[in-house]
Structure 1
């Protein structure tokens, strides 16, 4: 009997018919308060230096017209996505960031808030964005249509990019892992080596995708000022 290839990612954890899949998303809240009661360790110092670097970079991207402290929204977004991406690499833990339900709920409110703020406060600036500088008069109607479509699909591209990149690596790891019992000992050692290499690659993807999501959200916010 054939089953759906993506059925391995279907939510299945429950106790007394109560779904517990999305609780993995909130596990970080149990760990964060410990930092306020302990002396800073090396890991916390490294993490603080990373956040400070991100703060400086996001502040540069937003520009001088941005609000003071707005970078912390995107730093929190980066930290939240990074935590969930890494959590999904552990066995038997539900990867919430591989589902469009979560990624779209992060991207859509951000994009909507940027659009509402921009069209209410900087209407002329938003209209100017629809026609790139130097566009011939004949092409202006087409450029307005193209720019409008590219603007509308932004939250979808943000959500699909994150979900697709997370689910692709997990799917490859799952498919290779399922072939293990049928292999000989010599080929099994190669499979384990390949799985470790893929796990390292997935760790890099987890960091890169959370960074890309936060940077693109920052760039979208900078366009409305």
Structure 2
């Protein structure tokens, strides 16, 4: 007699788009974009691909929805009574932390320009720029400068951390090795790099990020 292959248990609770997106985020967090497949998602949700396709069109739709789910809860919380500068700073830091916790968001945001996910961020920051008195003709350039800095630095920080984890490298050891190499450079040719080597060894990524945001905001305030 041929033994039957045991079937995996099916969920009794109703499958929803929200449940699918939550499971997609878990897969993305654990293995990046390569880990997000409909087969893996079906296994995690204990259902068939057909049931998932009833809520999600394709992998691109999954990535966009997962990214939007994280971003929407990141930029939505308000800061009652906070100044526009403080609000922008808080939103920037929240996005920085979100990209650190979900490294795949940086690349996902880079190709979702024009979609609702990016619109949420632009609207959140843009309202604060209006409150700061930035002239309308400078709205786009100003919000673009902030966006490019937030997504660029935040995404690179997340990528660096992910690469270090993949190699099993300790951040302190990596920075110490780089600082040592910089300190050994020719003093006549690289005087500045040698002078900041010690600072680089002990720098805080988050503090450096906020320092950059503050520099941009100082420029915005001086221009209004």
TM-score range, shorter chain: 0.3 to 0.5
TM-score calculated relative to the size of structure 2? 0.40
TM-score calculated relative to the size of structure 1? 0.40
Higher relative contact order (CA 8 A, sep 6+): 1
